[in-house]
């Protein structure tokens, strides 16, 4: 996982640093980015992260990722929540993305998945829950395997419920 910070220097410029590892002595190693505004530095850092992620690939599948993610979070989530996630993975996500590694899954694949599930009659809420689960999984994959996150480009909003005031 890359750690970063942005601050304003005494000379008025902004500096952003991303931790990229540690040297043999255990000291942290950084990559620095400079700009006249905070926004410029944020853009440079985001570009660096995208380039780094696009160069990384992994052969791990969604099934293997889910197993690792589930094991890591099992102590924080209720048993019923884990059972719900497992059911959605086994019934919908794994059959759809089974043959692809995480590096091969794109935002277009995810949009096709959403379209297929909505057309099959699943509710917007149910599909939204599956997308939320996918976002969590890919967030974990980005931290663990430094891959590009296809979920960054995916926008899917749950339909608003009607509120009744009594």
* pLDDT per residue as tens digits for the range 49-94: 777 655 566 788 888 889 989 998 888 889 999 999 999 999 999 9
**Confidence grade of residue 1 (pLDDT, cut at 50, 70, 90):** very low
In this predicted structure, what is the pLDDT of residue 19?
79
pTM, full prediction:
0.64
Distance CA 66, CA 95 (A): 13
Q: How many CB atoms lie within 10 A of CB 41?
A: 23
- In DSSP terms, which residues pair with 29 in a beta bridge? 21
The pair of three-digit structure tokens given for residue 117, joined into one six-digit string = 């599930």
Cβ–Cβ under 8 Å, residues 88 and 133:
yes
pLDDT digits (tens, 9 = 90+) for 24-43: 787 888 889 999 999 999 89
């Amino acid at each position: 996982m890359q750690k970063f910070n942005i601050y304003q220097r005494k000379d008025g410029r902004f500096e952003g640093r991303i931790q990229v590892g540690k040297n043999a002595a255990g000291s942290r190693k950084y990559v620095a980015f400079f700009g006249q505004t905070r926004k410029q530095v944020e853009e440079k850092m985001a570009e660096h992260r995208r380039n780094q992620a696009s160069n990384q690939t992994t052969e791990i599948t969604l099934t293997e990722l889910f197993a690792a993610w589930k094991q890591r979070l099992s102590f924080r989530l209720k048993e019923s929540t884990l059972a719900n996630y497992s059911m959605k993975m086994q019934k919908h996500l794994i059959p759809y993305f089974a043959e692809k590694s995480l590096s091969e899954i794109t935002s277009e694949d995810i949009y096709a998945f959403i379209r297929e599930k909505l057309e099959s009659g699943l509710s917007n809420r149910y599909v939204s829950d599956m997308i939320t689960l996918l976002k969590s999984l890919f967030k974990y994959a980005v931290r663990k395997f430094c891959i590009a996150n296809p979920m960054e480009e995916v926008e899917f909003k749950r339909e608003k419920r009607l509120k009744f005031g009594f």
